[in-house]
Amino acid sequence: MSPSNSAFPKNPKTIFFIFVSYLLSLILISSCAFEEEQLYSKNEAEGEFIRICKEEYEWGVNTKFIGNTLWIYLPSQKDIFKFKANRFAQISKCMAVYLKGDFAEEEFYFEYQFMPVHKTEKDRGYTYVLSDEVNEDFRSLLNVIYRVYLNAEEQPEFYVIVIADIVNGVEFIYTIYNEDLKMAFNNAIASEEQYKRFLQDIRGDLRIINDSTGRHLTYQEISFSQFLTEQIAQRIRYEFASADFDSCSRPEEKILNIFSYVLRTYEFGDFQKITLKNLSTGAQITKMDWELEDSKEF
């Protein structure tokens, strides 16, 4: 999945923080999560995962392994989103009206355009978040992953979890790195950092309607460079959602700090340079790998 410009909720943190509260509760029950200690083979893990989903939750999930990536499709007839009032007034901010990243031939290449956005009378003071029922399903789904795939001989490197509202044709997608998931279960990373590491996307498509098997999806293996590219793009969107106007017109320093933090955190060295192109000014800069400086956490 390439980085996209999918519309996120006005306050996407709301979605994630609800999820995190559930996620952390899993740690408290982890000691009793397994009926017995064993290491599942790949086929056994798939069968056990589907069995638990069916018998304990009455879900008809579909799974597909593509290389290092496990796709999980959960069709639902529940409304994914609900509306609620904004907790905080919307303030002046900097919006990424265009942001696209790519990685090829050991180079990260990002194009972007930012513009300042002010609060207007059209802001009606509401946003949308994941419904409580869907949040509960997502929490339970992660619990099943923990019980099965984190106790398997062959663990996926990435999970792509798709929860689809097959009545209204909307789906919510998480892409999660296995090592990040382990750290989350063990409370080794803060909730704010989890929110930035777990890739989130929202899609609407008429093909989702009545699709109980996930036939509309394009299944593919997630590469590590692709995952980092999308995570960096996601962090940029979130960082600039509350940035000041100076950052909006001169974003390069913040973007390079995000690159530095992510690449050093994941110890990714299989790149030679980073190229940034500002479509608003036409300016383009290139930084070699050795030119990146240590960065604070983003």
Domain co-membership, 234 together with 212: no
165 vs 24, more confident: 165
Rounded Cα distance between 5 and 267, Å, is: 27
Domain co-membership, 195 together with 255: no
Query: Which residue, of 161, 187, 218, is where some domain finishes?
Result: 218
pLDDT of 253 over the 50 cut: yes
Domain co-membership, 60 together with 147: yes
Predicted local distance difference test score (pLDDT) of residue 241: 80
Domain co-membership, 160 together with 257: no
Q: Which is nearest to 38 in space by CA: 144, 178, 152, 146?
A: 152
Q: Residue 2 domain-assigned? A: no
Q: Residue 39 domain-assigned? A: yes
Domain that holds residue 203: 12-82+126-218
Cβ-in-10-Å burial (0-12, 13-18, 19+) of 183 comes to middle
Q: Residue 1 domain-assigned? A: no
Query: Which residue, of 192, 218, 244, is where some domain finishes?
Result: 218
111 vs 96, more confident: 111
Both tokens of residue 178? 């296995």
Domain co-membership, 18 together with 54: yes
Domain co-membership, 57 together with 147: yes
Q: Residue 297 domain-assigned? A: no
Domain co-membership, 191 together with 283: no
Instruction: Give me the chain's average pLDDT, please.
Output: 85
Our count of domains for the chain comes to 2
Domain co-membership, 44 together with 186: yes
Q: Residue 259 domain-assigned? A: yes
Query: Which residue, of 195, 218, 241, is where some domain finishes?
Result: 218
Q: Residue 240 domain-assigned? A: yes
Domain co-membership, 157 together with 206: yes
pLDDT of 124 over the 90 cut: no
20 vs 139, more confident: 139
169 vs 84, more confident: 169
Q: Residue 19 domain-assigned? A: yes
Q: Residue 135 domain-assigned? A: yes
Strands 170-177 and 199-204: antiparallel
Model confidence at 34, pLDDT cuts 50, 70, 90, reads: very low
pLDDT of 5 over the 60 cut: no
Rounded Cα distance between 252 and 269, Å, is: 21
